[in-house]
Structure 1
Amino acid sequence: MRVSNSALLQFAAIDLNEANEKRDIEQLLEGNFNRPGRHRSNHFDLPTRSSTGRLPFQLRSPKYYRIWLHFRKSLRDWSRHKRFQPDIMLDLIDLVKRPIDQHYGLPSSNGRYASCAVVGNSGILLKVEYGDLIDSHEIVIRLNNARTEGFQRNVGSKTNISFVNSNILHLCARREGCFCHPYGEKVPIVMYICQAVHLIDYTICNSSHKAPLLITDARFDLLCARIVKYYSAKHFVEEMGKPLDEWASAHDSHLFHYSSGMQAIMLALGICDRISIFGFGKSAQAKHHYHTNQKAELHLHDYEAEYAFYHDLIQRPEVIPFLSDKLKVPSVVIYH
């Protein structure tokens, strides 16, 4: 089917979940945590050194009121940035690279890292031995706490940035000390927020982390979401031959989301001069993840659309929509 590119751009710019998210944020600011799918009531489990490793507490109780105030501030700051601003890509050096450099004791610089490896979790990595090549990069970015132990020949052992979604931190927050450091406690974590309620996990865990725990700017999240929705709609219409007005129901639009890998690559575009991508792709003979037994893809992602984005990133970055004209797209190579 034929749909104009302008129509695809307009479609991608519509956030069908915007009203629900705003209502969600308002309820959270009022202390209402009873929405289905979230914590029931405004009680949380705060990791402690007790025998159970957890201490139930009420956010508004005098003992934990400071946590409540920090949570509200984090939520307000994050939600205020929920707007489209493509020039946010130019701010990633200040927002992400600079605090990471300070943590590692590196000299302050406005330049990008010379080379970055973004290591995905696809099972195709078990068929290759890229470990030494991955570790040769100045910066290695790994996703969602994927294990390296036992897989060093395939995926390497070096990690400079741990990139996760907030569902990962939410699980870690149930552990004593909010432990979420498979690569060591001194490795910085960069995280995007999947649900606004997960900012409570950030609030609780941030103080216990010995390395930076950075939340991606919501403007950056929105940019990633628009790009992926554009490529998903384009694939849906042009490759699958289906009407654009059926996309929302086919992809459960209220749950549809970019993958962690896609946003990690977008992050690398802003802070790296040369990017190597490993472990992105699939094979009928390979597991979904090299380190787990997961067999199926998550339906909330459109991996085919993201692969089309990666292809354009390498072959013709000028056609990628929504990116700032001021952004110099670095060299990108995918290793299969």
Structure 2
Amino acid sequence: MPKSPEQKDGSENQTPKSNFIDSFFTHFSTTKPKMKRTVRPFFILLLLLVFIATLTSRAILRKGILSIELEARVFTRDPPSLNATLLHHAAVEIGEEKTRREIQQLLDGNFASQARHRTFVSWRRFIHHDGGDKTYPATLRSPLFYRYWIDFRRVLHDWARKRRFQPGIMAELTRSVKVPIDRYNKAVNVDSGDLKKYSSCAVVGNSGILLNRNYGALIDAHEFVIRLNNARVDNYESKVGKKTSISFVNSNILHLCARRSGCFCHPYGANVPIVMYICQAVHFLDYTVCNASHKSPLLVTDPRFDVLCSRVVKYYSLKRFVEETGKGLEQWGSAHDGALFHYSSGMQAVMLALGVCEKVSLFGFGKSAAAKHHYHTNQKAELHLHDYEAEYAFYRDLMEGDKPIPFVSEKFKIPPVVMYR
């Protein structure tokens, strides 16, 4: 039997591996032989165009996704990161063990290493009770003396127990500092649970550069004004203003005040609250006595807040030491009296303002070769236990507003900060 043209072309010997397109056109040409030469080029061209279109679409899509990724990287750029090594070293408190021993000695009634308060018996000479026009010393056997002693041990024990690192402490400052002050000032809604912050705060430092400007009216225009370490305002009103919302001091200031009759420590008036941080645990003796006769609030900063401030300043000090000297971190302690190194009163006052204020303005922070260290004294030398340059670097980061602050919780929103020079 004669074979068909298709059989002569070898179609009967085709295997499953045959090209799909050839099979398709072979079938098509079998059914419609007259269109074989005209249709096959058309379909090849059509498939080629589909193939090119597919490649082009994929390229465009890929390019679009890449551009979106690049755009996202630009607008979600990560903030500058903190140095992990510096964070680790800043978290180490060189004098921690010594501080614990001193606290325990005080709780046990042993004042042998505490300078003026050398014994429990000698302490009674510095405790006085206001009684009208006369001041009566509290004798060793008096109930008043033992009441002070019990109060002293209680506040010291509570302070020592809470003395640890807690990054979220900034969010608690409104409740621990602002609420007691507002309650004393009989502010509206103080007990309603409303923890609204002050709209604007001025932190007035004591630098001599304040004498170069007349910022008095601008300072007084703030809702809340913080002054440091009982700096004078009399005869300096045009330079530093006269309004004072709180007096922020270190416990050394209160230690001196406690030696005066009635524990007087009110240069801005008896109704101005005092916020104090503890430099030495033994100063709780002075706090206990003064707090008994203090009319306005006498608040001690939360020790967790103290630890946070200490770490922040030490981080900036370590960073500056390495960058400027090129020396190793292990040499920082000898250069800054590591066990005695401490933040300044101004630095912690600024941190306090960050926690209780919507906007913060800084006055009298900085120095000049032609200016005195303090505007109200003749002091020119700086205390070696502070690293003011490191604190200035901290203030600059606050003002720039786009840099992370070491040890401060990321959940805490730092308010806008402006410095007037």
Instruction: Indicate whether the TM-score tops 0.5.
Output: yes
CA distance in 2, matches of 1:167, 1:19: 22
CA distance in 2, matches of 1:13, 1:198: 25
CA distance in 2, matches of 1:52, 1:284: 49
Question: Who is 2:311 aligned against?
Answer: 226
Candidates 141, 146, 152, aligned match of 1:71:
152
Q: Could you give the per-residue CA deviations for residues 133-153 of structure 1, whole angstroms, max 9, x where no partner exists?
A: 000000000000000001000
CA distance in 1, matches of 2:229, 2:167: 25
1:213 equivalenced with 2:294 (yes/no): no
Q: Give the match's secondary structure for 1:333.
A: strand
1:86 equivalenced with 2:167 (yes/no): yes
Q: Give the match's secondary structure for 2:295.
A: coil
Question: Who is 1:173 aligned against?
Answer: 258
Q: Give the match's secondary structure for 2:127.
A: strand
The normalised TM-score by structure 1 is 0.95
1:199 equivalenced with 2:281 (yes/no): no
Q: Give the match's secondary structure for 1:201.
A: helix
Listed as ranges, the matches of 1:14-29 within 5 Å are 14-29=92-107
Question: Who is 1:273 aligned against?
Answer: 358
The normalised TM-score by structure 2 is 0.76
Stretch of structure 1 that moved more, 113-122 or 312-321: 312-321
Letter in 2 for 1:333: V
CA distance in 1, matches of 2:111, 2:142: 15
CA distance in 2, matches of 1:239, 1:259: 21
1:241 equivalenced with 2:322 (yes/no): no
Candidates 178, 199, 207, aligned match of 1:97:
178
How far residue 61 of structure 1 moved from its aligned partner, in angstroms, is 5.7
1:10 equivalenced with 2:88 (yes/no): yes
Q: Give the match's secondary structure for 1:118.
A: strand
How far residue 41 of structure 1 moved from its aligned partner, in angstroms, is 1.8
How far residue 63 of structure 1 moved from its aligned partner, in angstroms, is 4.4
Letter in 2 for 1:69: I
Superposed CA RMSD in Å reads 1.7
Q: Could you give the per-residue CA deviations for residues 3-45 of structure 1, whole angstroms, max 9, x where no partner exists?
A: x911110000001111001100000000011105452222221
Aligned-pair identity (%): 62
Q: Do the aligned partners of residues 63 and 138 (structure 1) sit closer, same or farther apart at CA in structure 2, a change above 3 Å counting?
A: closer
Question: Who is 1:55 aligned against?
Answer: 137
CA distance in 2, matches of 1:14, 1:283: 33
CA distance in 2, matches of 1:36, 1:65: 20
CA distance in 1, matches of 2:134, 2:212: 42
How far residue 207 of structure 1 moved from its aligned partner, in angstroms, is 1.5
Instruction: Please say if residues 129 and 138 of structure 2, whose CA atoms lie closer than 8 Å, have aligned partners that are also in contact.
Output: no
Greater relative contact order, per chain length (Cα 8 Å cut-off, separation 6+): 1
Question: Who is 2:111 aligned against?
Answer: 33
1:134 equivalenced with 2:241 (yes/no): no
CA distance in 2, matches of 1:333, 1:63: 48
Q: Do the aligned partners of residues 106 and 305 (structure 1) sit closer, same or farther apart at CA in structure 2, a change above 3 Å counting?
A: same
Q: Give the match's secondary structure for 1:83.
A: coil
CA distance in 2, matches of 1:211, 1:36: 29
CA distance in 2, matches of 1:316, 1:110: 24
CA distance in 2, matches of 1:168, 1:47: 18
Q: Give the match's secondary structure for 2:94.
A: coil
Instruction: Please say if residues 130 and 293 of structure 2, whose CA atoms lie closer than 8 Å, have aligned partners that are also in contact.
Output: no
Higher helix share goes to which structure? 2
Listed as ranges, the matches of 1:113-192 within 5 Å are 113-192=198-277
Q: Give the match's secondary structure for 1:162.
A: strand
Letter in 1 for 2:154: K
Letter in 2 for 1:18: E
Letter in 1 for 2:137: L
CA distance in 1, matches of 2:401, 2:390: 15
Instruction: Please say if residues 38 and 197 of structure 1, whose CA atoms lie closer than 8 Å, have aligned partners that are also in contact.
Output: no
CA distance in 2, matches of 1:188, 1:317: 34
How far residue 230 of structure 1 moved from its aligned partner, in angstroms, is 0.4
Instruction: Please say if residues 114 and 274 of structure 1, whose CA atoms lie closer than 8 Å, have aligned partners that are also in contact.
Output: yes
CA distance in 2, matches of 1:7, 1:61: 54
Aligned length: 332
Letter in 1 for 2:162: H
Q: Could you give the per-residue CA deviations for residues 286-330 of structure 1, whole angstroms, max 9, x where no partner exists?
A: 000000111100001000000000000111453211001111100
Instruction: Please say if residues 138 and 144 of structure 2, whose CA atoms lie closer than 8 Å, have aligned partners that are also in contact.
Output: no
Instruction: Please say if residues 138 and 145 of structure 2, whose CA atoms lie closer than 8 Å, have aligned partners that are also in contact.
Output: no
CA distance in 2, matches of 1:228, 1:53: 42
How far residue 241 of structure 1 moved from its aligned partner, in angstroms, is 2.0
Looking at CA atoms only, which structure, 1 or 2, has the larger radius of gyration? Answer: 2
